Amino acid sequence: MTADIRNWIEVGMLQEIPREGARCVRKGDMTIAVFRTADDDVFALEDKCPHKNGPLSQGIVHGGCVTCPLHNWVISLKTGAAQGADEGQTQAFPVRLDQGRIFIDLSFSHAVV
């Protein structure tokens, strides 16, 4: 099912985010980190590690994941779920690219089933 186009907001251009880096956008009280991988894939997560609320936007992006800078938890960029033996999840938001412009659907987040 495709989300209603009215729910998508533009958050910037792909080239504004360094490869394997992030930039942050705000939605009310929430900060959302928008990540760019080495392959130019783009993901959006709440900028809060599920462990101790570390700033994921300051972590290391690698292989479809980000490592939290506080305690080295590895978080999936696609789902927001902690990897390995760690348990927990941060909110992940749908992202789409349109001619280099990044859009995020902030009306809902992905949940791990």
Give the separation between CA 97 and CA 93, rounded to whole angstroms. 13
Question: So what's the pLDDT on residue 108?
Answer: 67
> What does the pLDDT read at residue 109?
55
**pLDDT < 50: residue spans in the chain:** 1, 112-113
C-alpha to C-alpha distance for 24 and 16, rounded to whole angstroms: 11
pLDDT at 4: 61
- Tell me the C-alpha distance between 28 and 17, whole Å: 22
Domain 5-105 classification at class level = mainly beta
Residue 14: C-alpha distances to residues 23, 58, 68, 101 (Å): 10, 18, 22, 6
The reported pLDDT for the residue numbered 112 is 43
CA–CA gap between residue 88 and residue 104 (Å, rounded): 23
The ranges assigned to domains in the chain are 5-105
Q: Tens digit of pLDDT for each residue in 67-76? A: 999 999 999 9
pTM: 0.89
